[in-house]
Structure 1
Amino acid sequence: MRTTRIGAAAGLCLVLLLILRLWFLEPVVVTATSMAPTIPPGSIVWINKVSPVGRAGARIGEVVTLRSPDDGALIVKRVVAVEGQNISMQDGVLNVDGIPTREPFVDQKTIDGMYFGEVRVGQNEIFVLGDNREASIDSRHFGPVSTDAVTGRVIGVP
């Protein structure tokens, strides 16, 4: 009788973990260097799949997962601008609506001299960048992305 209860409890735990993984949380191994040093390659991050950006709105500074417009691969990037904002970079400094932003997670020495012209983020779009700007393929390359492309929010990242 006791063995049956332990087996049933173990089975229930397994089912709950499967449900949690399929619909709520998902572990993802980060293989690229585009978010280093914030998320080094080889790190495992947890994705909250319950509140995708498309339904709940994006927040500047949060780290999200999305499908790359280039090849559909899952990528991890930081939201730096949302719908209606203008974004540019001058000498490595990110400007949102003409105001320089403070980005302590970006190594400014490695991106000194980096430029891109002003881009307006459209309706239901976000602009995403990797923290490792010199090694990241992001919205500077493929432009603003639809909030519908976001698959989840990374949990526990500064």
Structure 2
Amino acid sequence: MVYRKKPASADQNHDDELKEKFGTNFQAEKPKYFKEIVKWICLIIVALLTALLLRAYVFEWVVVQGQSMEDTLYNNQVLFVSKLNCDTPKRGDIVIIQIYEGNWDYLSFFKDVPLFRALFPCQDEVNYIKRVIGLPGDEIDIRDGYLYINGEKQEEPYTKGLTYEQSFELPRIVPENKVFVMGDNREYSKDSRQLGFIDFERIKGKAVFRIKPLKDFGNIY
């Protein structure tokens, strides 16, 4: 019986040419498109998670709304906010406080997981920006349009208008783990004089500097 050699196919001839040109491992030179795509997808996912973690635990920026912090801050200004050391506020700090938590109805299956609640924004959350006036143990009083802390009249060059007691009965001692806050525009600010003392855990961050407008970029203190 005679066996005839099967003619080489065009693909085989092409492979033989590549072997002669690149050696027997020529297939390793072929681009690995699938691996490249997977690598880029992983990089994008890592970048997004890093950005979310930074926003949740390190910093973010906020937009001022309203006139309660004039003449220090104005409507639509953008601020850089640090979320580090929120549990140790200092008198004079300008802070973001959570007034209404909002809801996670769009992520109802994750709303009981603290990590997801920190990473993703909730709907209808309400935050105010105010200045820390009183710390735990301080006696707060308001008399004749001026603020008194521990019996001493305060010089507050950053304020606009006179300071009135409004609906919060004073003098009062600031409880542990709470602060007394007010807006700098004292006659047009909803703050601790209506809301009461603010828990440390409701402080979401400290405003550090102004980002926009560019002409006012820099320190806000």
TM-score, with structure 2 as normaliser: 0.59
Which structure shows the higher strand fraction? 1
SS at match of 2:76: coil
Comparing 83-92 with 70-79, which one deviates more in the overlay? 70-79
SS at match of 2:91: coil
Stretches of structure 1 lacking an aligned partner (at least 5 in a row): none
Give the distance between the partners of 1:40 and 1:139, measured in 2 at CA.
20
Give the distance between the partners of 2:156 and 2:55, measured in 1 at CA.
32
Aligned to 2:99: 68
What is the percentage of aligned positions where both structures have the same residue? Answer: 27
Q: Is the 8 A contact 2:100 2:127 kept in 1?
A: no
Count how many residue pairs are aligned between Structure 1 and Structure 2: 147
Aligned to 1:23: 57
CA deviations 1:1-58 (Å, max 9, x no partner) are: xxx9xxx7x9699555554334311111111211111110111111111221x2xx22
CA RMSD in angstroms comes to 2.7
User: Who wins on radius of gyration, i.e. which is larger?
Assistant: 2
State which of 73, 77, 94 in structure 1 corresponds to 2:147.
94
Change (3 A) 1:139 1:46: same
State which of 69, 79, 85 in structure 2 corresponds to 1:45.
79
Stretches of structure 2 lacking an aligned partner (at least 5 in a row): 1-35, 103-124, 210-219
Q: Is the 8 A contact 1:129 1:139 kept in 2?
A: yes
TM-score, with structure 1 as normaliser: 0.80
Q: Is the 8 A contact 1:70 1:142 kept in 2?
A: no
Aligned to 2:3: none
